[in-house]
Structure 1
Amino acid sequence: MNPPPFPLDPSLWHATAVPAPDCPPLDQDVAVDVAIVGGGYAGLSTALHLAERGVSCVVLEAREPGWGGSGRNGGQVIPGLKYDPNELIAKFGEEAGKALTAFAGSTADTVFDLIAKHGMNVPHVRNGWIQGAHMASMVETAKKRSAEWARLGAPTEYLDKARTTDHLGTDVYLAGWIDKRGGAVQPLSYARELCRAAQKAGAIVHGQSPVQGLAREGGKWKVKTAQGATVTAGKVALCTNGYTGDYYPKLAQTVIAPNSYQVATEPLSDNLRKSILPYGQVTSDTRQLLLYFRLDHEGRLLMGGRGPFREPTDKSDWAHLERVIARLYPAVKDTPIQFRWCGRVAVTRDFLPHLHEPEPGMIVNIGCQGRGIGLESTMGKALAAYLATGDRKALPFPVTPVKTIPFHGLNRAYVAAVVAFYRMSDAGLA
């Protein structure tokens, strides 16, 4: 996939992140137990947990660790999946559904535990995540979701309109629910610190080392990079999500990878900060094309949501988010926008992460679904356990065949049509 014309440089996260770790390009052939393709949360977490098990591994990243979606998301750490606990049980059965629910519920814990364990220099808060109900039919959904998680012991609570308005600082939403396990991180700093932790544990990470070929020879995998150097490994893990290339047949056609657009204001005055999300939560809503927003660690208001599927061409591609800010928080409408950026999200047909094992010794993890910080950090632990032991019980999701999305070549037009439909049906703000 071609890189966007707006690289990390104009991103808020690039401007405020800790310095990048030293990850030189691979310049000579090496042999390890596991080769990991992709230096985002999943690949770096897999490397860290493999190294802690004493398994030798190399991460190959096409640019720098965190360059893709891991350094371009909204920084919200949200536990759970798109499906509620009862839906997971209905879909996978009692035993597997409960195991998946436990996995999904643990994802935020993984992130904050890793930050604490490794002393990561990552601005972060953990005051909870709120989902606001944007229309009357979603009020009951908010009640149901809160109650399902509460029955499992999660610290969740339903919020009526008055309390939702109090927590969010806007009266647009009719109700909501809070999951106190959620929070926020500076996402690029987290990716870079995850990389440092993996390196300290013994993993080797190479940036500027795009993979150009994968081949199995004599029971080993040969992973060839653009500069010609090759990694020989007994096993390979592919963890590339929204920036998946064509190095393995048809893998990129198993997901839709729309751009998620974000803007950030200049730092707000103290008075404005106190009126917006005053208790320090992060939030996203119940729209099909959801809006998500928060304050960053320096007091900027961030607003995110869908935009054009194509790569952005000028500032007008973010104008809808600026209009949303003015509707939600009129007092902020004249505050200048300081940063505009976007990043791709890997979405599967069933809105669940997919695990594939298309050939012996190759495991594929794809489909972050917009909850990649917690989900992919936790998936990395599971992948490492599987790669180290070969026990499929370590994997939270079933291993399925690679199945492409029908007529994938038309996905840009399809996504554009879906975006237009949902904007009409979503009681939109923009």
Structure 2
Amino acid sequence: MQQAPFPLSPSLWAATAAAPPPTDPLQASAQADVLVIGGGYAGLSTALHLAERGVKVVLLEAREIGFGGSGRNGGQVIPGLKYDPDAMLAMFGPERGERLLRFAGATADAVFDLIERHAMDVPHVRNGWIQGAHNPAALRTAHDRAAQWARHGVDAQPLDRAQVARLIGSDKYLGGWVDKRAGAIQPLSYARGLARAALNAGAVLHTETPVTGLKRVDGKWTASTARGPSVVADRVVMCTNAYGGGLWPGLKPSIIDANTFQVATAPLSERLRAGIFPEGHVTSDTRNLLLYFRLDHQGRLLMGGRGPFREPRGDADWAHLERVMVKMFPQVAGTPFEYRWCGRVAITRDYMPHLHEPQPGLLVDIGCQGRGVGLQTSMGRAMAEYVATGDANALPVPLSPIVPFPLYGLRRLYVNAVVTWYRMTDGGV
């Protein structure tokens, strides 16, 4: 995600995160077995798992660790993908589909296991995710979704309206389902924890070092940087998500770089906190323009959702979320909003994570679809295994060609049209 171009207070996560480990810009040209581009969850996880294998790895980040989506998301750790188990099996067949289900189902485990194993300074909770249903059709879908995951051994349960109201603190949903594998983290602290773990394992991390070009000569990759020095490596793993820009031809038009907005209140009183997420769940709903909300580790109520495709121009661009929050939770009316932030996310054509290998030795990972914390942590581990061993079965999804969105230059127009349509079909809060 990207910092807004006008003065704002820091994001909630930047204001409350653990200190980052010390890193420096690249000062002199270097060599590595593997170069990782991007200091978010995917890049850091890849660097960590490669370094633990004894691979000489250098990571270059254009800004600071977790500057993009890894430091600006809602902090919800939700396993699975956008598609339900039956759909994934139909899309990929029984063998690969089952492998993908196991991978997707374990993504939350990967996050919480790393936090524990490396004793990371990351506030976290793991009491489950509730998906609230906003209309009768969505309620049927939610209950079917719970049943599908339950058939695969997951502790997933359907919920009625009263159950959802009690566990969330709002009566605006008709019911839903709960996935007890899920939880929440302080997302920027987690990115910084991954960076510290990667450094301790022997990876070399350089921040404030934008990569400006990639070139393959005589079987080696050379990455030029805006600072002047370059890195030569046998392999490159590119993990820039919505921020790859023009670094590789055709990559930017293969995603929609939509904007997502979030607000957070001041810490709630003990009285209010007793009735809002009393058991520590996190929530997102079944709307096409979904809403997602939770309490943070200091008792603030956080809500995220749609925003203008353009960059924000002022606090008014968050006003719709503030209104929605009070409609969803009228008990917080009058509580001041302390934080407003936003950024870019990468949406692929099929709402799946994509892995590309456009040239030998260059692996590109792109697309989170709202599940990036666990997904990209696990993807980094899988990519590290693939790069180290060459075993394509280590990858959860098959390598695919880079395919652009049609009429990419008009994306703002058709995204706005889709948003308008979804707003009408989703109904009011």
TM category, shorter:
over 0.9
Q: Does 1:143 align with 2:147?
A: no
Q: Which residue of 1 aligns with 2:237?
A: 237
Asked whether the equivalents of residues 213 and 247 of structure 2 are also in contact (C-alpha less than 8 Å), the reply is: yes
Q: Does 1:414 align with 2:389?
A: no
In the TM superposition, what is the alpha-carbon distance from 1:31 to its structure 2 partner?
0.5
Change (3 A) 1:188 1:7: farther
Asked whether the equivalents of residues 78 and 182 of structure 1 are also in contact (C-alpha less than 8 Å), the reply is: yes
List gaps (5 residues or longer) in structure 2: none
Question: What is the aligned residue count?
Answer: 429
Q: Which residue of 2 aligns with 1:68?
A: 68
Asked whether the equivalents of residues 2 and 343 of structure 2 are also in contact (C-alpha less than 8 Å), the reply is: no
In the TM superposition, what is the alpha-carbon distance from 1:7 to its structure 2 partner?
8.0
Q: C-alpha distance in 1, partners of 2:408/2:80?
A: 28
Change (3 A) 1:409 1:112: same
Q: Which moved more, 1:15-24 or 1:107-116?
A: 15-24
Q: Which residue of 1 aligns with 2:370?
A: 370
Asked whether the equivalents of residues 6 and 341 of structure 1 are also in contact (C-alpha less than 8 Å), the reply is: no
CA RMSD, aligned part only? Answer: 1.2
In the TM superposition, what is the alpha-carbon distance from 1:141 to its structure 2 partner?
0.7
Secondary structure in 2 matching 1:100: helix
Secondary structure in 2 matching 1:275: coil
TM superposition outliers: structure 1 runs of 4+ over 6 Å: none
Q: C-alpha distance in 1, partners of 2:331/2:16?
A: 25
List gaps (5 residues or longer) in structure 1: none
Q: Which residue of 1 aligns with 2:165?
A: 165
In the TM superposition, what is the alpha-carbon distance from 1:4 to its structure 2 partner?
3.0
Secondary structure in 1 matching 2:274: helix
Q: Which residue of 2 aligns with 1:250?
A: 250
Secondary structure in 2 matching 1:339: strand
Q: Structure 2 counterpart of 1:25, which letter? A: P
In the TM superposition, what is the alpha-carbon distance from 1:23 to its structure 2 partner?
1.5
Secondary structure in 1 matching 2:188: helix
Q: Which residue of 2 aligns with 1:386?
A: 386
TM-score w.r.t. structure 1 length? 0.98
Secondary structure in 2 matching 1:406: coil
Deviation readout 1:299-323 (Å, 9 max, x if unpaired): 0000100110111110111011111
Q: C-alpha distance in 2, partners of 1:93/1:272?
A: 48
Q: Which residue of 2 aligns with 1:85?
A: 85
Deviation readout 1:276-296 (Å, 9 max, x if unpaired): 111100000000000000000
Change (3 A) 1:2 1:88: closer
Secondary structure in 2 matching 1:20: coil
Secondary structure in 1 matching 2:112: helix
Q: Which residue of 2 aligns with 1:16?
A: 16
Secondary structure in 1 matching 2:223: strand
Q: Which residue of 1 aligns with 2:281?
A: 281
The aligned runs of 1:29-178 (5 Å cut-off) are 29-178=29-178
Q: C-alpha distance in 2, partners of 1:230/1:41?
A: 23
Q: Structure 1 counterpart of 2:115, which letter? A: I
Change (3 A) 1:314 1:165: same
Asked whether the equivalents of residues 238 and 364 of structure 2 are also in contact (C-alpha less than 8 Å), the reply is: yes
TM-score w.r.t. structure 2 length? 0.98
Percent of aligned positions with the same letter in both sequences?
61
Asked whether the equivalents of residues 8 and 14 of structure 1 are also in contact (C-alpha less than 8 Å), the reply is: no
Change (3 A) 1:91 1:7: farther
